[in-house]
């Protein structure tokens, strides 16, 4: 072990994000002062992002098992059986902070990272989605961030060749200084050919694959360059640069190599790069790992062990190979023009040993690096349960049509076409429902199966009542998958919160987890992968709690799917589920009545009802009885009807059977509801079947014309609604270009 | 019909194209690796969509100098049909097998949407199964599809019926000169177009309007 040429001062420890007691833990663990490289390794392994030290205790409470779950949380992504020997592999991950600093590259590398998580396990990516949260439209940085994030996501996914088929977008002042970019990816693999990160066998070659290592993305960028040693260049920015071209080559090379049978274990280099991937592979397999950093392909000269261990250069993989197949493996990588280097071996001594220029720069116990990471049971306070809004407390509008048209053009409600037309959503030729529907659907190569995907959370509900908000996020995702005819299988969760050291923020986290867990159990919708992003704060103000849920559903036959658009004139419109007039935390109350600070309760989620109504709708879709289906969510039933009308270019006449004030009926956000259409002649039978199943269902109206009318009132023009709905985002973004 | 799809590093619509060719021609197409120097005996060579070499230089510029390209030029000289879609069109232009260039979209953004295509010349090996003037639906997905050439060349292209397809009904997505979506070489056996007919061949895609393009070649080589 070489002696330290840098003194490990309390300041240096703090700059590595380690608390004094955490540093003491390191000293106790290794019985001596760590080297600078070792300090860097600990900081990489023990930070919140890699260790989940604040969240672990609560994540353990989530249901992660189910009859279809092949692999739950803990690997690169979750794996779920979809029958016929096939599996869907998926995960969602945040790239929030990098995207705020450098929107284009931050978002691009977020997509790159999640795609790698999926193909590391042997899957060919077949779908990408993204959940984006931006600051308020008037904030000076918002336009710049929207534009950069969308171009970054598109630029990466389009070049890589995965269809980006859906997602969600919100604008809120709480994201002014901290946008959220949550990227989701899913891939298909044979269920018996899944690759894991657990290394097996002593003395086997550890192979480095992909792009070269540079100084980009080095953790601990706050450190002054002088403290690194004389050869170190100035610190580069912490945001990595994405190269989708290399990633595409890496995908093809990895899949080819996996098919050859040479791969024993594989792990992508994501957060904390070489450190995290090598430690995880060794620790999972109860093996030591020895790395010779002189063998690592580098993009620049004179990199130190510290820099190499902490670099987050993109498009890199680590593999343990069958030594007999080393030559074949190398040939595949040379063919694809990628670096291939044996940089180490597995050992039997459970040490993580790193050499540079022949010197041992780090020698640490490998199991403890991961397993002994600090874990916190942080104090939390749960907010008091909010009271429901009194029905009389929500003012009625003068003109229903005017309000509806205005609602359809709100930043949170308008068409996202401007965004998704920048994403290639058609590549691979399997897109059955692209962006803009309740859930996106792809055909599983050659059919007849289909897969549905939806990302959902309503942050304002979570802020008002974390438990109900957590439940609602899962329920809405489940409902969206159901609304296209899919059987919801499992979820990945991307939990974005503020500073967990604040008890009220920790309370939001704990509450949301409680709600998510309850909904997942009730709906048999296990969590198979996920990511936690904490410290989403600027100037001491946290974001709205945003636990984004990414759900996957299965359609036995993709041709039996439902879409939002009205299909024909003169069809019956029915509503499934009950409308009780709940306006608390609704879009209407917040954006039309201007009650942004209202603290009333969000709509309650009745999970048994959710399940009963949803199961009924799914059966009806699969039986081919419904011509269009749309879930009722943000904005309520009238917005849902308007969206169906705009999508189909066909109007409707609505005659609600309700005792509620008209605006309560129109804009309430009661849960577990769907709108559906079917031929007039079949409507009676459908309502009878619903009654039999104990599902509330009622006739709402009839499709037809070019206008929407409610109770024979003033017709609301479809053209006007569409212009408002489609117009806001392009106009907003174009206004920025003129500045 | 014997067909083959050329794969460059960064090609990414080869699987879509292979499936379309197999579905429509009934014969499994071969995959041609960019580093090869010879082509098998083929009736149709397809350069598919993607981001060859990341499109980090001008789109198609590096692929156009790839090892397989002389063999493709030779085949084109002998009259073999060559079809370039999207990045393939860009490569054919960069290689000089088609005139002109594809610049950044006028809107400066990547655009993926459905457009309308008008058959500007139905008397070609690539459009003969359409009617003259027929308008059909087809998706585009590109960032650099803005066709440009000098006035002289444009005049020749138009005068010689070498504009095969045009964006119709105001759907030009990229600012292309004269709404040009696809052009032919002088001999009529090399065709390049930005839209993706291979993504419009079955009910799942919303329409099957793209099939006739492949059926045209099938008929031409029969």
H or E element in which residue A404 lies? helix A400-408
pLDDT of residue A453: 98
Residue B202 phi, psi (nearest 5): -150, 160
* A739, pLDDT greater than 80: no
Of A243, A246, A421, the CB nearest to B112: A421
B215/A contact by beta carbon, under 8 A: no
**What integer best gives the mean pLDDT of chain A?**
93
Contacts 24+ apart (CB under 8 A), B166-173: B166/B117, B166/B118, B166/B120, B167/B115, B167/B116, B167/B117, B167/B118, B168/B115, B168/B116, B168/B117, B168/B118, B168/B135, B169/B116, B169/B135, B171/B115, B171/B116, B172/B115, B173/B105, B173/B107, B173/B111, B173/B113, B173/B115, B173/B140, B173/B145
> Three-class SS of residue A165?
strand
Alpha carbon of B61: minimum distance to chain A alpha carbons (Å) = 15
Hey, are the CB atoms on A558 and B10 less than 8 Å from each other?
A: no
A437 neighbors A565 (Cβ within 8 angstroms): no
H or E element in which residue A417 lies? helix A417-420
* Percentage of residues in chain B having pLDDT higher than 70: 100
pLDDT of residue A232: 38
Hey, are the CB atoms on B16 and A151 less than 8 Å from each other?
A: no
What pTM does this model have?
Answer: 0.96
A191 neighbors A70 (Cβ within 8 angstroms): yes
Handedness of CA B71, B72, B73, B75 (dihedral sign): positive
Hey, are the CB atoms on B19 and A429 less than 8 Å from each other?
A: yes
Q: Which residues of A are annotated as catalytic?
A: 49, 95
Stretch A373-381: mean pLDDT: 93
Hey, are the CB atoms on B199 and A161 less than 8 Å from each other?
A: no
Higher-confidence position of A19 and A234:
A19
Alpha carbon of B44: minimum distance to chain A alpha carbons (Å) = 21
B15/A contact by beta carbon, under 8 A: yes
A337 neighbors A297 (Cβ within 8 angstroms): no
Of B12, B53, B110, the CB nearest to A154: B110
Stretch A213-221: mean pLDDT: 70
pLDDT of residue A1: 65
For A620, half-sphere exposure in the C-beta direction (CA atoms, 13 angstrom radius) is 32
pLDDT of residue A238: 64
pLDDT of residue A737: 54
* A488, pLDDT greater than 60: yes
* A218, pLDDT greater than 80: no
Residue of chain A whose alpha carbon sits nearest to that of B113? A421
The b-or-e profile of A298-307 (16+ CB within 10 A means b, else e) is beeeebbbbb
pLDDT of residue A47: 85
Structure tokens, A479: 């409902």
Of B20, B51, B113, the CB nearest to A421: B113
Closest-CA residue to B145 (of B96, B195, B210): B195
Closest-CA residue to A500 (of A439, A463, A542): A542
Between A and B, how many CB-CB pairs are < 8 A? 79
Structure tokens, A710: 């409610």
Measure Cα distances from A522 to A555, A606, A696 in Å: 21, 10, 20
CA distance A701 to A566: 12
pLDDT of residue B180: 98
A424/B contact by beta carbon, under 8 A: yes
Alpha carbon of B200: minimum distance to chain A alpha carbons (Å) = 8
B120 neighbors B191 (Cβ within 8 angstroms): no
pLDDT of residue A235: 41
pLDDT of residue B123: 98
* A224, pLDDT greater than 70: no
Strand partners, B7: B33
pLDDT of residue B92: 98
Measure Cα distances from A652 to A571, A633, A704, A726 in Å: 9, 19, 5, 20
Task: Check B14, B48, B86, B93 and give the catalytic one.
Answer: B86
Hey, are the CB atoms on A422 and B56 less than 8 Å from each other?
A: no
CA distance A148 to A159: 16
pLDDT of residue A538: 84
Q: Would you place residue A393 in the very low, low, confident or very high pLDDT band (cuts 50, 70, 90)?
A: confident
**What integer best gives the mean pLDDT of chain B?**
97
* A227, pLDDT greater than 80: no
The predicted-structure confidence for A80-124, as pLDDT tens digits, reads as follows 999 999 999 999 999 998 899 899 999 999 999 999 999 999 999
Instruction: Kindly report the number of other CB atoms within 10 A of residue A25's CB atom.
Output: 18
Neighboring chain B residues of A432 at a CB cutoff of 8 Å: 204
* A508, pLDDT greater than 50: yes
Hey, are the CB atoms on B10 and A249 less than 8 Å from each other?
A: yes
Hey, are the CB atoms on A245 and B56 less than 8 Å from each other?
A: yes
CA distance A485 to A614: 10
The predicted-structure confidence for B135-144, as pLDDT tens digits, reads as follows 999 999 999 9
pLDDT of residue A370: 78
Residue A696 is given by DSSP the state -
* Percentage of residues in chain A having pLDDT higher than 90: 86
Stretch A112-138: mean pLDDT: 97
Stretch A167-184: mean pLDDT: 96
Closest-CA residue to A496 (of A481, A512, A480): A512
The predicted-structure confidence for A339-351, as pLDDT tens digits, reads as follows 999 999 999 999 9
Q: Would you place residue A237 in the very low, low, confident or very high pLDDT band (cuts 50, 70, 90)?
A: low
Residue B86 among the catalytic residues: yes
B60/A contact by beta carbon, under 8 A: no
pLDDT of residue B43: 97
CB contacts under 8 A, A 430-469 vs B, are: 430-432, 443
pLDDT of residue A6: 80
Neighboring chain A residues of B15 at a CB cutoff of 8 Å: 428-429
pLDDT of residue A738: 46
pLDDT of residue B190: 98
Strand pairing of A316-321 and A263-268?
antiparallel
User: Where do the H-state alpha helices sit in B57-165?
Assistant: 69-77, 87-94, 151-159
B141 neighbors A158 (Cβ within 8 angstroms): yes
pLDDT of residue A392: 76
CA distance A157 to A143: 21
Alpha carbon of B170: minimum distance to chain A alpha carbons (Å) = 17
Alpha carbon of B68: minimum distance to chain A alpha carbons (Å) = 15
Of A248, A425, A426, the CB nearest to B12: A248
A255 neighbors A249 (Cβ within 8 angstroms): no
Strand partners, A431: A442
Residue B34 among the catalytic residues: no
CA distance A647 to A643: 6
For B136, half-sphere exposure in the C-beta direction (CA atoms, 13 angstrom radius) is 26
Hey, are the CB atoms on A158 and B143 less than 8 Å from each other?
A: yes
Residue of chain A whose alpha carbon sits nearest to that of B111? A422
A634 neighbors A412 (Cβ within 8 angstroms): yes
B50/A contact by beta carbon, under 8 A: yes
CA distance A670 to A540: 34
Alpha carbon of A419: minimum distance to chain B alpha carbons (Å) = 10
Order of strands across the sheet that contains A351-356: A263-268, A316-321, A205-210, A339-347, A288-292, A351-356, A359-365
The predicted-structure confidence for A684-737, as pLDDT tens digits, reads as follows 999 999 999 999 999 999 999 999 999 999 999 999 999 999 999 999 999 865
Least confident of A36-45, A586-595, B105-114: A36-45
Task: Check B14, B93, B118, B196 and give the catalytic one.
Answer: B196
Residue of chain B whose alpha carbon sits nearest to that of A734? B107
What angle do the packed helices A637-648 and A400-408 form, to 10 degrees? 70
A154/B contact by beta carbon, under 8 A: yes
* A682, pLDDT greater than 90: yes
């Amino acid at each position: 072990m070489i002696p330290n040429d840098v003194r490990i001062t309390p300041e240096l420890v703090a700059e590595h994000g380690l608390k004094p007691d955490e540093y003491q833990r390191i000293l106790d663990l290794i019985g001596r002062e760590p080297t600078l490289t070792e300090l860097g390794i600990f900081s990489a392994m023990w930070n919140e992002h890699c260790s989940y030290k604040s969240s672990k205790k609560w994540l353990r409470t989530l249901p992660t098992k189910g009859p279809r779950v092949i692999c739950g949380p803990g690997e690169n992504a979750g794996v779920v059986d979809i029958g016929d020997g096939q599996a869907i592999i998926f995960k969602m991950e945040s790239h929030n902070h990098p995207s705020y600093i450098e929107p284009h590259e931050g978002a691009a590398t977020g997509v790159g990272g999640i795609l790698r998580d999926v193909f590391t396990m042997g899957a060919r990516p077949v779908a990408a989605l993204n959940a984006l949260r931006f600051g308020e439209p008037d904030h000076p940085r918002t336009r710049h961030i929207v534009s950069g994030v969308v171009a970054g996501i598109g630029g990466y996914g389009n070049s890589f060749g995965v269809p980006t088929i859906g997602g969600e977008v919100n604008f809120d002042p709480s994201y002014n200084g901290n946008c959220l970019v949550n990227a989701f990816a899913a891939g298909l693999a044979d269920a018996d050919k899944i690759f894991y990160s657990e290394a097996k066998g002593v003395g086997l070659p550890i192979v480095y694959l992909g792009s070269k290592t540079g100084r980009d993305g080095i953790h601990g960028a706050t450190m002054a360059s002088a403290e690194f040693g004389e050869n170190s260049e100035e610190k580069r920015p912490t945001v990595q640069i994405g190269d989708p071209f290399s990633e595409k080559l890496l995908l093809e090379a990895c899949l080819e190599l996996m098919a050859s049978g040479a791969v024993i274990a594989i792990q992508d280099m994501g957060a904390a790069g070489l450190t995290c991937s090598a430690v995880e592979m060794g620790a999972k397999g109860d093996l030591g790992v020895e790395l010779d950093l002189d063998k690592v392909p580098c993009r620049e000269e004179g990199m130190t062990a510290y820099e190499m261990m902490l670099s987050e250069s993109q498009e890199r993989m680590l593999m343990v190979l069958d030594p007999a197949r080393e030559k074949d493996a190398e040939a595949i990588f040379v063919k694809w023009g990628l670096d291939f280097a044996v940089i180490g071996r597995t050992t039997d001594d459970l040490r993580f040993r790193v050499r540079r220029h022949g010197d041992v720069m780090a020698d640490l116990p490998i199991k403890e690096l991961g397993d002994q990471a600090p874990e916190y049971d942080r104090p939390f306070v749960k907010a008091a349960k909010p009271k429901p809004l009194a029905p009389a407390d929500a003012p009625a509008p003068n003109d229903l049509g005017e309000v509806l048209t205005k609602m359809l053009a709100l930043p949170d409600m308008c068409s996202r076409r401007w965004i998704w037309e920048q994403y290639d959503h058609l590549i691979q030729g399997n897109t059955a429902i692209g962006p803009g529907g309740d859930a996106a659907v792809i055909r599983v190569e050659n059919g007849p199966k289909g897969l549905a995907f939806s990302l959902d959370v309503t942050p304002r509900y979570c802020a008002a009542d974390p438990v109900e908000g957590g439940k609602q996020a899962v329920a809405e995702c489940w409902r969206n998958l159901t609304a296209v005819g899919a059987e919801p299988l499992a979820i990945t969760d991307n939990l974005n919160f503020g500073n967990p050291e604040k008890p009220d923020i920790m309370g939001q986290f704990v509450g949301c987890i409680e709600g998510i867990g309850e909904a997942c159990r009730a709906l048999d919708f296990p969590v198979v992968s996920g990511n936690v992003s904490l410290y989403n704060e600027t100037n001491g103000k946290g974001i709205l709690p945003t636990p984004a849920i990414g759900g996957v559903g299965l359609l036995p036959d993709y041709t039996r799917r439902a879409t939002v658009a009205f299909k024909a004139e003169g069809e019956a419109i029915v509503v499934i589920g009950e409308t009780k007039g709940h306006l608390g935390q609704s879009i209407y109350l917040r954006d039309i009545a201007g009650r942004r600070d209202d603290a009333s309760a969000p709509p309650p989620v009745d999970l048994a009802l959710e399940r009963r109504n949803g199961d009924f709708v799914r059966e009806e879709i699969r039986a081919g009885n419904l011509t269009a289906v749309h879930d009722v969510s943000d904005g309520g039933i009238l917005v849902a009807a308007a969206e169906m009308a705009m999508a189909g270019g066909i109007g409707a006449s609505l005659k609600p059977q309700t005792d509620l004030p008209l605006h309560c009926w129109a804009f309430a956000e009661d849960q577990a509801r769907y709108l559906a259409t079917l031929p007039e002649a079949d409507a009676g039978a459908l309502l009878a079947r619903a009654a039999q199943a104990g599902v509330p269902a009622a006739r709402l109206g009839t499709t037809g014309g070019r206008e929407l009318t409610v109770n024979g009132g003033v017709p609301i023009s479809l053209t006007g609604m569409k212009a408002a709905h489609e117009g806001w985002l392009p106009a907003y973004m174009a206004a920025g270009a003129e500045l | 019909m014997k067909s083959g799809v050329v794969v460059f590093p960064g090609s990414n619509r080869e699987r879509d194209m292979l499936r379309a060719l197999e579905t429509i021609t009934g014969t499994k197409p071969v995959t041609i690796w960019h580093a090869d120097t010879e082509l098998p005996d083929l009736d149709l060579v397809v350069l598919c969509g993607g981001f060859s070499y990341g499109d980090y230089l001008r789109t198609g510029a590096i692929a156009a100098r790839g090892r397989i390209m002389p063999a493709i030029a030779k085949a084109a000289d002998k009259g073999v049909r060559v079809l370039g879609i999207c990045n393939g069109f860009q490569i054919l232009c960069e290689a000089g097998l088609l005139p002109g260039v594809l610049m950044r979209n006028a809107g400066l953004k990547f655009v993926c949407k459905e457009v309308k295509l008008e058959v500007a010349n139905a008397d070609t090996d690539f459009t003969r199964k359409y009617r003259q003037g027929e308008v059909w639906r087809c998706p585009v997905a590109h960032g650099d599809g803005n066709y440009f050439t000098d006035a002289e060349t444009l005049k020749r292209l138009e005068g010689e019926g070498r504009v095969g397809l045009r964006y119709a009904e105001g759907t030009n997505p990229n600012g292309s000169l004269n709404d040009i979506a696809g052009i032919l070489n002088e001999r009529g056996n090399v065709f390049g177009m930005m839209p993706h007919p291979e993504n419009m061949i079955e009910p799942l895609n919303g329409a099957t309007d793209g099939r006739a393009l492949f059926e045209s070649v099938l008929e031409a080589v029969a």
